[in-house]
Chain A
Amino acid sequence: GAVVSQHPSWVICKSGTSVKIECRSLDFQATTMFWYRQFPKQSLMLMATSNEGSKATYEQGVEKDKFLINHASLTLSTLTVTSAHPEDSSFYICSARDSSQENEKLFFGSGTQLSVL
């Protein structure tokens, strides 16, 4: 099946630094990718929809200036957490669907565990 690669798997950083997370579709093209966040013991919540070649669409309550999304190619979307703070510590995961396939299921990356000290 389709593979979505996400890096890094985990990152620990100091408060105030920025962290970039990459999401790649390895064997298919994705015009749209999705970024989710999961806090401990909670469900995944959609943060934003990443659109190739245009601006991302953010869910209500998600700060677009804090969570920068770039989708410069059909196989790569990046999420940058700017000036990270401890409350941003969470599990971030991306997903994508093969743009050429109708009714294809969404595939997920392996996730990134972010810990901000």
Chain B
Amino acid sequence: KQEVTQIPAALSVPEGENLVLNCSFTDSAIYNLQWFRQDPGKGLTSLLLIQSSQREQTSGRLNASLDKSSGRSTLYIAASQPGDSATYLCAVETSGSRLTFGEGTQLTVNP
């Protein structure tokens, strides 16, 4: 059974700081890994998707890496802003389009 773990559970940083969120998964047989952002009481916004054959993806200030063999992914956020405050979820997709989510990292960026 696939299990996804995210560390840390919560993170508070001052504005402008670079930060790294971590995600690990137990079964390396994945199709892809996706990072999402969730604002309180809201749906999910897809940030980055890394296919199993890829090692990283970048979008603006965000960079996500994937090491499938070790079952790890990181989300790097550069020059953090208060608007980045949200919960960040990592999810791996396995057969049948099934997504297994981590419990998320709650990020607070203080002005």
Contacts and interface: CB of A to CB of B under 8 A. Distances in A.
Interface of A: 6, 32, 34, 36, 42-46, 49, 91, 93, 95, 97, 103, 105-111, 113
Given A49-B96, A105-B49, A108-B46, A113 B41 contact: yes
Contact of B103 (A34, A43, A113): A43
B59 to A, nearest CB: 12
A23 B41 CA distance: 17
State the majority secondary structure of interface residues on B.
strand
Contact of B43 (A32, A46, A103, A108): A108
A95 to B, nearest CB: 8
State the majority secondary structure of interface residues on A.
strand
A93 B101 CA distance: 13
B42 A110 contact: yes
Contacts of A109: 43
A39 to B, nearest CB: 11
A106 B89 CA distance: 14
A22 to B, nearest CB: 14
Interface centre among B32, B34, B49, B99 (most CB of A within 10 A): B99
Contact of A93 (B44, B49, B93, B98): B44
A44 B97 contact: no
18 contacts: A36-B99, A42-B103, A44-B89, A44-B91, A46-B100, A49-B96, A93-B43, A97-B97, A103-B51, A105-B34, A106-B97, A106-B99, A107-B46, A108-B43, A108-B45, A108-B46, A109-B43, A111-B44
